[in-house]
Amino acid sequence: MKILVADKISPKGVAFLRQQPGFEVVEAYGSSSEKILELVKDVHAIAVRSETKITAAVFAAAPLLKVVGRAGVGVDNVDVEAATERGVVVMNTPAGNTIATAELTFTHILCGARPVAQAAASMKAGQWDRKTLSGFELFKKTLGIVGMGRIGGEVAKRALAFGMKVVAYDPYLAPSRAKAMGVEAVSLDELLPQADYITVHMPLTDETKYMINAPALAKCKKGVRLFNCARGGIIEEAALLAALKSGHVAAAGLDVFEDEPLAKDSEFRALPNVVLTPHLGASTAEAQESVGIEIAEQIADVLRTGAVRNAVNMPSMDAAAAKVLAPYLDLGAKLGTLLQQISPKQLAKLRVTYQGRIVDLDANAITRSIQHGFLRRISGDGVNAVNAPVLMSRLGLAFEVVKTSDAGDYTDLIELEATAGDGAVTNVRGTLIGRGNQPRIVGINGREVEVAAEGSLLVLENLDQPGMVGAVGTLLGKDKVNIADMSLSRLTPGGTAYMVVRVDHEPSESARAELKNHPAIKLAKFVQL
């Protein structure tokens, strides 16, 4: 498999990829967009930093592409929507630059308290200006941290070591974690007026864009100091400029900007109370080596084992979890494809019910496998666990997931139910049996059956009358189709019964027509799992 390293990552990361059996590594640093389109025609993976743009055109030109790995956190240079559409995993390395970014943030906080950068510039200009370069202590001041993920947490540790009080806003911060870290969890409206220093550590989303805007700054105490080493656009730059000029914000430290590189005529460059750095958050030797090695390992895992870590467009699953989930993923995919083949074509809703021990596992991955199986014969080879939810939504299908700890007679049970526009319901049930966790079909449309979920199946609904097994067996025998397994089920004697026959190969068209035309057979479906 071929891996394109489009941006310069750690040499140790490149060396790791070259050492993997069956991998061919192409280094193409600084390539033009036209050259990238040419290079990706036969690549299975791409490694980038922030320079190379992986656009929709790149994905369209790369039919073999399975994964794009970003050595760093932000994936602004990758069209994630186009990747998902094409079924390509996009991964980043959120942990690799944690310490580097936290340390740079705290450097900015220190420079916001003590005008070190301004003092250094004045000294080099031949001045000795002690009076105007006086600063403030961090001790006993309040630091407000907006976003308490990995980086925010590391900044909090350093602030506490300086004797600061830390208040934190994060909608996902559990009170128990806040207490364990020694910080006070507050709302954003509570944080703004009490913080002497504010640093943001949120991803840039529709919800966080301009979350620190003019109204938010107006709530801050006069003389607040503001810092952003996360993503440009979280702080509204126009509002910050106005607040800096008015003196409401005493100082700022910025490593990221709404548009990068920062324009040469940006007003920020002329303000004496602002320290600017050119997006250096991850720019340490240790961080670059760490993220380079980490993304190389993650790419190798995807290509070799299918294990996915730090994906931004699908649930992550490490090698250990992949091993545990493998039989459930197989079962889910087979139940999905079985349901699709025995259901009406026009469906309104699908429901998945997980029962028993399975509810403690990663149901997201299993659900995607079910969707993949359901779509496999509809959407072709291009569907996979990455793009299955997107493709499913395009069909207009409502999708519901239900979980219950009660699995009845089974340890684990997956039940799929499809509802047609006219209200007709089709359902299938499956479980794992034996030490080898063999997938088994244990129910179809309310009838209990038991047949291995593999190979080719004939699913028959017939009148419950003598001679049906012989009639089906004779017909298949005449057609030279060998029966590998058979399961019979009925609800009441003399009503309708189900016959699920596992066969070695598909019956001929004439044999299938004869089955469908048999007066006692109401339904005959040939299913390929």
Q: Pick the catalytic residue: 38, 51, 137, 260?
A: 260
Buried b (16+ CB within 10 A) or exposed e, 327-345: ebbbbbbbbbbbbbbbbee
CA trace torsion 309, 310, 316, 322 (10° rounding): 10
DSSP string, 196-218: SEEEE-----TTTTTSB-HHHHH
The per-type count for the chain, helices as H runs and strands as E runs, is 17, 22
Which structure tokens are listed for 14? Answer: 């490149």
279 belongs to the catalytic site: yes
Which structure tokens are listed for 34? Answer: 């036209």
Instruction: Say how far apart CA 520 and CA 510 lie, in whole Å.
Output: 18
Q: Pick the catalytic residue: 108, 225, 231, 440?
A: 231
Instruction: Say how far apart CA 306 and CA 285 lie, in whole Å.
Output: 30
Q: Pick the catalytic residue: 44, 279, 309, 502?
A: 279
176 burial level (CB within 10 Å; 0-12, 13-18, 19+): exposed
Which structure tokens are listed for 167? Answer: 């208040």
Which structure tokens are listed for 489? Answer: 């089920």
394 belongs to the catalytic site: no
Instruction: Say how far apart CA 347 and CA 352 lie, in whole Å.
Output: 14
Instruction: Say how far apart CA 234 and CA 169 lie, in whole Å.
Output: 14
201 belongs to the catalytic site: no
How far are the Cα atoms of 20, 72, 92, 155, 348 from residue 283, in angstroms, in the given order?
28, 10, 16, 17, 51
- Active-site positions read 231, 260, 279
